[in-house]
Amino acid sequence: MTDELCTRPATELAELIRTREVSAREVLEAHLARIDAHDGQINAIVTRDDDAARAAADDADARLAAGEVVGPLHGVPVAHKDTHQTGGMRTTWGSPLHRDTVPAHDELVVARLKAAGAIRVGKTNVPEFAAGSHTFNTLFGATHNPYRHGLSAGGSSGGAAAALAAGFVPLAEGSDMGGSLRNPAAFCNVVGLRPTPGRVPSHPTAIGWSQLSVQGPMARTVSDVALGLSVLAGPDPRVPISLGDPGALFAAPLPTELAGLRVAWTPDLGGRVPVDPAITAVLEAQLSVFTDLGATVVEDCPDLTGADEAFGVLRAWLFEASFGDAVRRSPELVKDTIKWNAAVGAGLTGADVGRAEVAHTKLYERVVEFFTRYDVLLAPVTQVLPFPVEQEYPTSVAGTEFEDYLAWMRSCTLISATGCPALSVPGGFTPDGLPVGLQVIAAPRADRRVLEVGHAFEQATGHGLRRPDLG
């Protein structure tokens, strides 16, 4: 029964707890036992407070017994990314500068999950300050891929993705600037959503007007991600870019057919990114699924001119604003890639940022026009397959050398610059048994559409049901 509970979707667990077929305490104990049994080889959960979690689960059961009205995640275990502040629980950002930091308050994404009744299990591993799409740091070491020990789980929400794949929690949250929700989801055969900027308000944040980094849900099924989004989404008056739509819009059932859907497919984002042929082969074999579900599929891609400039300049500007002081104060405690990115930001001129913003605006307008002709764009999530954990980042793929530590993530960073919602959904496996993610992209603010399309594809293929063998 213990392992069986750990493979159930969050939607099912929430229903079982609400109807009192199983207690919140039983569900929690099953997941804690699974973490105890297997996290030693994966290293996904880096901070725990089992006593507090048990007290919260007991309180959840008592409230149900008393007949209280409860939230949609009542009693469901969740894990929080170690870059998101948790009141009373250590938050390190994966940095030795914060090895003992214990925030006084929850940040908004954590508070909303708690308000919905979720039980906090612990914190998930991250790369230092969430920089880079491979999860390792000097405090806790590397997170291993549950499907192949010794390989990367991706990042920066790699601990979250690995925890989901391993059955440690049914629901998690993360953040995504250049692929940090999507890349690890693809590497670990789970689902990760980069919402439209403002869909999930981020607070507190030093630069509230920026639309580059977003927060969002991760889970093993699209329905669970939709459930998570229904709790996390919704306006907040303190966040200037927050969207006004209520989160409840995402709680409605998702379709399993795609009749009339207009689909564009690009294997390489219009020739802009090199992709491992093994990934392309897996994903091209999936296109017939969409036609079988009633969609039309053609190869096309929006003009992404300016996306590299917009992302690169605005990311560097954010890194200087966020980490520049730490680099200057304690350079020996900050990894080289962060120092490099902050230095690039420090060297920017006002004219550089201005040109990037002009390119950003033109890009947005072209992408919006593209989605008057198509409902969704399909693309690879990653350009590479999971790589050895000892490697900081891939340096080449398909005969192309990468110029820096960001270049291997361009299949995601180019999309980040567009402002579009993008979903990573399990897209199949290589003959060698490594997961491949399919990226489903829609027009800005069309978050529900990517969930609908991802759900129909997921139900038709069952790729997400293939779970790792943890021994």
The total of structural domains in the chain comes to 1
Task: Annotate 325-336 with three-state secondary structure.
Answer: HHHHHCHHHCCH
27 in Cβ contact with 76 (< 8 Å): yes
Catalytic residue among 23, 133, 180, 213: 180
57 falls within a domain:
yes
Q: What is the pLDDT of residue 3?
A: 85
Is 156 labeled as catalytic in the residue annotation?
yes
224 falls within a domain:
yes
Q: Record the pTM.
A: 0.98
Q: What is the pLDDT of residue 1?
A: 52
Q: Dihedral of CA 361/237/113/318: which sign?
A: positive
Tokens standing for 449?
Answer: 């559409």
Is 202 labeled as catalytic in the residue annotation?
no
Cβ neighbours, 10 Å, residue 100:
8
301: nearest Cα among 347, 348, 266, 275: 266
Q: What is the pLDDT of residue 32?
A: 98
Q: What is the pLDDT of residue 116?
A: 98
Catalytic residue among 23, 156, 157, 210: 156
311 falls within a domain:
yes
471 falls within a domain:
no
362: nearest Cα among 404, 407, 285, 307: 307
Question: Alpha-carbon distance 63 to 69, whole Å?
Answer: 8
Question: Alpha-carbon distance 154 to 152, whole Å?
Answer: 5
How would DSSP label each residue in 8-38?
S-HHHHHHHHHTTSS-HHHHHHHHHHHHHHH
234 falls within a domain:
yes
Is 411 labeled as catalytic in the residue annotation?
no
Say which CATH number the domain at 38 has: 3.90.1300.10
Q: Which residue, chain included where needed, has tokens 């869909």? A: 199
470 falls within a domain:
no
Question: Alpha-carbon distance 412 to 312, whole Å?
Answer: 13
Q: What is the pLDDT of residue 4?
A: 93
6 falls within a domain:
yes
Angle at 279 between CA 286 and CA 471, to 5 degrees: 95
Q: What is the pLDDT of residue 152?
A: 98
pLDDT digits (tens), the chain, 471 positions: 568 999 999 999 999 999 999 999 999 999 999 999 999 999 999 999 999 999 999 999 999 999 999 999 999 999 999 999 999 999 999 999 999 999 999 999 999 999 999 999 999 999 999 999 999 999 999 999 999 999 999 999 999 999 999 999 999 999 999 999 999 999 999 999 999 999 999 999 999 999 999 999 999 999 999 999 999 999 999 999 999 999 999 999 999 999 999 999 999 999 999 999 999 999 999 999 999 999 999 999 999 999 999 999 999 999 999 999 999 999 999 999 999 999 999 999 999 999 999 999 999 999 999 999 999 999 999 999 999 999 999 999 999 999 999 999 999 999 999 999 999 999 999 999 999 999 999 999 999 999 999 999 999 999 999 999 998
Residue ranges making up the domain that contains 123: 2-465
Question: Alpha-carbon distance 86 to 117, whole Å?
Answer: 15
